[in-house]
C-alpha cells in the first residue's frame, strides 16, 4: 500500500473518532465526590446490633453502623454540620453502650430504645433514585468525623439527643434523675420554628382515666408542679400524684412541657417540643448549622464542658 493511501486511511479514522474525543475533553459529565470509609484492617471497631424484627444479632463495623443510624435519626436534608454533630453524638452513645454491655449478648437494639438503625436494603427501597446522593451525604458526615466522640473528665458522656425542644433543653436530673454537669438546660429558642414544636391532643375524661389507670370521676382536680424549664415535674389528678415523664408516656404526648385545660367533658393537652428534651436538640443543631456554626461548636453548646476525642 502506497504512502498516499495510508494517509487517506489514517485521516478517515481520525475524522470518525474526533467527535467522541471532543465530547470526552470538552463536555465531561462530573460525578459527585464519592466518600469511602477507611478501615483499619488490624483493629476494626464493631457493634453488636440486635435487629428488632428478626431477633438476630448482627456484628457491624462501627462507622458502617453509624451510616444507618444517621439515616434513621436525622433528616438527610439537614445541613452537613448538623449531620456531623449527630454522627459524633451517635458514635459517643454507641461507645458508651459497648462499655456497659461488654458482658452481654448485644450492645444496642435498632429501635428508639437505643438508636434507630436502617440497613442498606431498606434505604435503597425507601430512597429509590435519590439513594446515591443521600447515602453519599451521610457517608461524608461520618467520614469527616471519623472516630470522634465526646468525653467529660476523661469519661465517655451520656450523649442524649432528641427531635425538638420547648425553647430550652431540659436538665438531666428532671428527666432521668441524674445530675450531670454536661447535661444542663440551655436556651434553644430557634426550635420554636420547628413544625414539630406544637402538638394538641384531646381526651374524653373516660379516655384519660383509662390511660392513667384511674377510676372514673365526673369531677376532675388537676394540680401541676413545674420545674425550672416550665415542664411538668409532677401532676396530681384527683389526689393521685404522677411523675411528668410517666404522664407523658401513658398519654403518648410529645413532651412534658404541657398546658392542660378542661372543656365540657374533654381534657385538651397542648405540648411544646418533641422528645425527652435532654442533650442535643436535632432541630436546634440544624438551625445553628444554618447560622454558620461548625459541628464541634454545636456539640459544645448542647453538651457543656465536654472534650472531643478520637479513637
- pLDDT tens for each residue of 21-30: 333 333 444 4
19 in a domain, yes or no? no
Task: Indicate if the pLDDT at residue 310 is higher than 50.
Answer: yes
The share of the chain scoring above pLDDT 70, in percent, equals 86
Please, are residues 160 and 183 in contact by the beta-carbon 8 Å criterion?
yes
Task: Of 255, 94, 249, give the one whose Cα is nearest residue 169.
Answer: 255
Q: Say what the pLDDT of residue 43 is.
A: 57
Instruction: Give the angle 146-151-153 at the CA atoms, nearest 5°.
Output: 150
Q: Is 50 exceeded by the pLDDT of residue 173?
A: yes
The reply to whether 5 falls in a domain is no
* pLDDT score of 9 more than 70: no
Q: How many domains does the chain contain in total?
A: 2
Measure the CA–CA gap between 233 and 246, rounded to whole angstroms: 10
Among 149, 283, 268, residue whose Cα is nearest residue 199: 268
* Cα(215)–Cα(233) distance, integer angstroms: 23
Report H helices in the chain. 3-26, 62-73, 80-100, 120-127, 131-143, 172-176, 205-211, 244-251, 282-290, 295-302
pTM for this predicted structure: 0.83
**Domain interval for residue 249:** 198-272
In this predicted model, what pLDDT tens digit does every residue of 183-198 receive, in sequence order? 999 999 999 999 999 9
Of 186, 205, 201, 64, nearest to 135 by C-alpha is 64
Q: Are residues 160 and 176 in the same domain?
A: yes
- Is position 1 within any domain? no
Same domain, 290 and 255: no
- Order of all β-strands in the sheet with 240-243: 222-226, 232-237, 240-243
**pLDDT grade for 33, boundaries at 50, 70 and 90:** low
Is residue 55 in a domain? yes
Same domain, 147 and 284: yes
Are residues 256 and 293 located together in one domain of the fold?
Answer: no
pLDDT of 137 strictly over 80? yes
* Burial of 127 from C-beta contacts in 10 A (0-12 / 13-18 / 19+): middle
Average pLDDT, rounded, for the chain:
89
33 domain residue, yes or no: no
Give the pLDDT confidence of 276-300 residue by residue, as tens digits: 999 999 999 999 999 999 999 999 9
Q: DSSP code of 201?
A: E
Amino acid 44: pLDDT: 79
Q: Are residues 67 and 124 in the same domain?
A: yes
Report the C-alpha gap between 255 and 267 in whole angstroms: 17
Query: CA 170, CA 267: separation in Å to the nearest integer?
Result: 25
Distance CA 148, CA 139 (A): 14
Residue 26, domain member (yes or no): no
pLDDT in tens, 191-248: 999 999 999 999 999 999 999 999 999 999 999 999 999 999 999 999 999 999 999 9
Task: Looking at the structure, tell me whether residues 180 and 207 fall in a common domain.
Answer: no
pLDDT at 252 exceeding the cut of 90: yes
User: Is the same domain home to 208 and 250?
Assistant: yes
Contact 114, 139 (CB under 8 A): no
- Angle between helices 282-290 and 80-100 in degrees, nearest 10: 140
Amino acid at each position: 500500500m502506497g504512502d498516499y493511501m495510508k494517509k487517506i486511511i489514517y485521516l478517515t479514522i481520525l475524522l470518525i473518532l474526533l467527535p467522541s474525543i471532543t465530547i470526552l475533553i470538552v463536555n465531561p459529565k462530573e460525578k459527585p465526590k464519592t466518600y469511602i470509609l477507611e478501615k483499619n484492617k488490624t483493629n476494626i471497631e464493631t457493634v453488636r446490633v440486635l435487629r428488632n424484627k428478626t431477633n438476630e444479632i448482627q456484628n457491624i463495623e462501627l462507622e458502617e453502623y453509624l451510616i444507618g443510624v444517621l439515616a434513621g435519626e436525622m433528616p438527610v436534608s439537614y445541613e452537613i454540620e448538623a449531620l456531623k454533630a449527630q454522627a459524633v453524638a451517635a458514635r459517643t452513645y454507641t461507645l458508651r453502650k459497648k462499655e456497659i454491655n461488654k458482658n452481654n449478648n448485644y450492645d444496642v437494639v435498632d429501635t428508639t430504645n437505643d438508636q434507630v438503625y436502617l440497613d442498606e436494603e431498606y434505604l435503597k427501597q425507601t430512597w429509590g433514585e435519590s439513594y446515591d446522593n443521600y447515602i453519599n451525604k451521610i457517608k461524608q458526615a461520618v467520614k469527616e468525623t471519623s472516630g470522634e466522640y465526646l468525653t467529660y473528665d476523661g469519661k465517655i458522656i451520656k450523649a442524649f439527643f432528641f427531635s425538638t425542644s420547648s425553647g430550652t433543653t431540659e436538665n438531666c436530673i428532671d428527666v432521668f434523675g441524674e445530675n450531670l454537669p454536661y447535661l444542663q438546660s440551655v436556651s434553644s429558642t430557634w426550635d420554636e420554628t420547628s413544625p414539630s414544636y406544637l402538638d394538641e391532643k384531646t381526651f374524653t375524661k373516660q379516655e384519660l382515666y383509662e390511660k392513667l389507670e384511674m377510676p372514673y370521676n365526673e369531677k376532675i382536680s388537676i394540680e401541676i408542679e413545674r420545674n425550672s424549664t416550665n415542664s411538668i415535674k409532677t401532676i396530681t389528678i384527683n389526689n393521685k400524684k404522677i411523675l411528668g415523664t410517666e404522664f407523658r408516656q401513658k398519654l403518648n404526648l410529645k413532651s412534658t412541657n404541657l398546658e392542660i385545660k378542661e372543656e365540657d367533658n374533654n381534657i385538651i393537652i397542648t405540648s411544646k417540643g418533641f422528645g425527652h428534651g435532654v442533650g442535643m436538640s436535632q432541630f436546634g443543631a440544624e438551625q445553628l448549622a444554618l447560622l454558620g456554626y461548625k459541628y464541634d461548636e454545636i456539640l459544645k453548646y448542647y453538651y457543656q464542658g465536654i472534650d472531643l476525642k478520637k479513637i
